[in-house]
Chains A and B, each alone.
Chain A
Amino acid sequence: MTQTRKRRFPIHAVVGTVPMILVSVGVFVIGIGFSVLWSFTSSKLFPSYNFVGLSQYRRLWADDRWLISINNIWFFGLMSIACNMVFGYLLAVFMDQRVRQEDALRSIFLYPFAMSLIVTGLVWQWALDPNLGIQQAMRNWGWESFTFAPLVQANTAIYGLVVAGIWQGSGVTMAILLAGLRGIDSEIWKAAKIDGIPTWRTHVFIVAPMMRGAFATAFVLQCVAVVRVYDLVIAMTGGGPGIATTMPAVYVIQLITVRQNVGQGMAAATLMLAPILLVLAIGGILQWRNRRKESRA
């Protein structure tokens, strides 16, 4: 039956999805293709097709800014993802204990996520201001030696970004993981209780492995956000002090707009695609393996 139906070409469906075709092919295939292509050229402000091989990549890896931004994204990524996952999971577990005012607490944990990263960055920039922020308030309360102003020093500024990242992102992690927790059959808990397994062990060894899906979702979501991180840096530190908190996304935009070096910018952008492709590939392989396991069973 399906074979006879497929004979007629659904012309209206194709017409209706023209925007999707344009975006899929025109932006995501051809657009990325051009970005990669231009990374091999000596393009300055405007694209050129004067191919120079890998020299843009070589120049990129000789540039301190790029090396610092790579270091920063690793540090920021590992720190903020680890903290968000741990803090988010703790919040989810604690929220799952039949607490009073659950809705109110949930709203509080999640509201920063509704706000722009620009707003988040500006808020924390002020809270961490050494003369007017938390540090000064503590000193005025009599704690004269209190020091907490990470943003003014090059080697600590990135911690400030991590704090803001946790403030904005751990609520979402909590929401996703809480949904995962609630999706677990209550029989599991009863069985573990009957077997006399302590609650924390049930959590770590039985329930957490069952929440693989929720963890994976939260993790991928944060990986994508980390690679893209731009607004937060611009609002909070502007990449400074100096170039201490510059990130690949900031670096690419600077190369395109301020330094008008499109070839090198596209080389950097192409490299930004690599970790995403890696994560997607790993995800794809895992899915494929799972499917094979299921079909065997």
Chain B
Amino acid sequence: MTDTSVASRIGSEPERAGTSVEPSGPKPRRISPGRIGLYAFLILSALFFLIPLYIMIVTSLKGMPEIRLGHLFNFPGEVTFQPWADAWLHACTGRDCFGLSPGFLNSVKITVPSVLISIVCASINGYALTFWPYKGANLLFGLLVFGAFVPYQVVIYPLIIGLSSVGLFASLPGIIIVHTIFGMPILTLLFRNFYAALPAELFKAGRVDGAGFWRIFFYIMLPMSVPITIVAVILQVTGIWNDFLFGVVFAGRQNWPMTVQLNNIVNTTTGVREYNVNMAATILTALVPLVIYFVSGRWFVRGIAAGAVKG
């Protein structure tokens, strides 16, 4: 886990605890053929991961004539930010030519409430499952975790019918409900595991003082939940921002999130394909999750790891 344990494991100098033998012989060489191979592999891999990003950035800064020459990897001869402005304001998604900005706003309008509601629901679920298990609660939780594995296509149509029967299909509340539903399994698991690891004395002390379900939740559990809430926020914001399927099915044309509009800009253009505008649009769409990823760093990894432990 920590650097020290790793170091002591792989370190070439064995520990000589208990003996007083002086270290002798040549110092272990740092640069061996093995090390070179190791770094070559890692650097080549890093290139594989970085090249697409490089292509995107470079192409988005070129003019169309330069792109048509086909020098994909070349640095732009003349840097232009026009494609970025076009992608944001003028690119056409089917009929409308307002660029990605409406999609950005829609994504914000979808993501913020979805994240808030799903986290509130999941934290109450996790708290109730840990400290107030009622008869059947674990069965419900089992069903919920099962839901984390279900392919979306299996429940999409019943959801379409259900939401349209209450008049929420193709609306902002509709898509928010859908994201809340599909975020709930993994988030509930996250919060339940977190609360289960807290000392039970916290809860018992609250009970002795006569506090009930909600008082203990708001005054004891919530203030302690900050770290897990950060993980949950990162997991949900990136997940919902990156969603395409639910957006295209449940949001309705006027609420289409950025990912849907991006796909429309790129894959349904008629006439000349403006590759530079397309790539600028792609970077703009990826920007929010990328910023979250780089700012949150280890929290993000922890989120994936926590999300992955469902197996």
Measured CB to CB, the residues of A under 8 A from B are 9-10, 12-14, 16-17, 19-21, 23-32, 34-35, 38, 47, 87, 90-91, 94-99, 105-119, 122-127, 131-134, 136-137, 139-140, 167, 171-172, 175-176, 179, 182-183, 186, 189-190, 193, 216-221, 224, 227-228, 230-231, 234-235, 238, 248-249, 252-253, 256-257, 262, 265-266, 268-270, 272-273, 276, 279-280, 283
B251-275: which have CB < 8 Å to A? 259, 262-263, 266-267, 275
The docked-state distance in angstroms from the alpha carbon of A35 to that of B53 is: 41
By secondary structure, the B interface counts as helix
- Cross-chain contact A29 with B143 (CB below 8 angstroms): yes
Task: Given A110-B301, A114-B300, A119-B285, decide whether A27 and B72 contact each other with a Cβ distance below 8 A.
Answer: no
Known: A12-B214, A31-B159, A262-B157. 20 other contacts (CB 8 A): A13-B134, A16-B125, A20-B184, A23-B181, A24-B140, A24-B147, A27-B159, A31-B154, A107-B297, A115-B286, A119-B282, A126-B56, A132-B67, A137-B73, A182-B6, A190-B14, A228-B151, A269-B151, A269-B153, A273-B150
Task: Report the bound CA distance from A122 to B132 in whole Å.
Answer: 47
Q: Which among B52, B238, B304 is the interface contact of A172 at CB below 8 angstroms?
A: B304
Contact present for A280 and B55 (CB under 8 Å): no
Is A97 within 8 A of B213, CB to CB? Answer: no
* Interface positions of B from 72 to 125, Cβ below 8 Å from A: 72-73, 121, 124-125
Give the contacting residue for A13; candidates B59, B67, B128; CB below 8 A. B128
From A123, A133, A193, A276, B72 is in contact (CB under 8 Å) with: A133
Contact of B152 among A98, A108, A228 (CB under 8 A): A228
Query: Inside 8 A of B161's CB, which chain A residues have their CB?
Result: 34, 47
Determine if B50 and A108 form an interchain contact, defined as CB atoms under 8 angstroms apart: yes
Nearest Cβ on chain A to B125's Cβ, whole angstroms:
5
Tell whether, in the assembled complex, residue B238 and residue A114 are in contact, meaning their CB atoms are under 8 Å apart. Answer: yes
Asked if B70 is at the interface of the complex by the 8 Å CB criterion, the answer is: yes
The answer for the CA separation of A150 and B127 in the assembled complex, in Å, is: 50
- A134, B289: Cβ atoms closer than 8 Å: no
Contacts of A24 in B (CB 8 A): 140-141, 143-144, 147
> Is A137 within 8 A of B71, CB to CB?
yes
Question: Residue of A at shortest CB range from B307?
Answer: A221
Chain B residues contacting A252 (CB-CB under 8 Å) are 153, 156
Also in contact, A272 and B154, with CB within 8 A (given A19-B125, A47-B161, A99-B38): yes
What per-residue 1/0 map shows which CB atoms of B127-142 lie under 8 Å from chain A?
Answer: 1110011100100110
Interface residues of B in 57-75 (CB under 8 A from A): 59, 67-73
B160 contact set on A, CB distance < 8 A: 256
- Give the CA-CA distance A224 to B310 in the complex, in Å: 12
Are A111 and B267 interface neighbours, CB within 8 A? no
Complex CA distance for A124 and B304, rounded to whole angstroms? 24
Question: B residues touching A (Cβ–Cβ < 8 Å)?
Answer: 1, 5-11, 14, 38-39, 41-42, 45-46, 48-53, 55-56, 59, 67-73, 121, 124-125, 127-129, 132-134, 137, 140-141, 143-144, 146-162, 180-181, 184-185, 188, 212-214, 217, 238, 241-245, 249, 259, 262-263, 266-267, 275, 278-279, 282, 285-286, 289-290, 292-294, 297, 300-301, 304-305, 308-311
- Give the chain B neighbours of A131 by CB distance below 8 A: 70
- Is the CB–CB distance between A140 and B71 below 8 Å? yes
Which 5 pairs show the lowest CB-CB distances between chains A and B? A12-B213, A116-B242, A186-B9, A13-B132, A136-B70
Contact A20 B144 (CB under 8 A): yes
Q: How far is the CA of A259 from the CA of B104 in the complex (A)?
A: 31
Q: Is the CB of B275 within 8 A of A132?
A: yes
Q: Which residues of chain A are near B51, meaning CB under 8 Å?
A: 127
Q: Which residue of A lies closest to B155 (CB)?
A: A31
Q: Do residues A28 and B308 form an inter-chain contact, with CB atoms below 8 A? A: no
- A279 and chain B: residue at smallest CB distance: B149
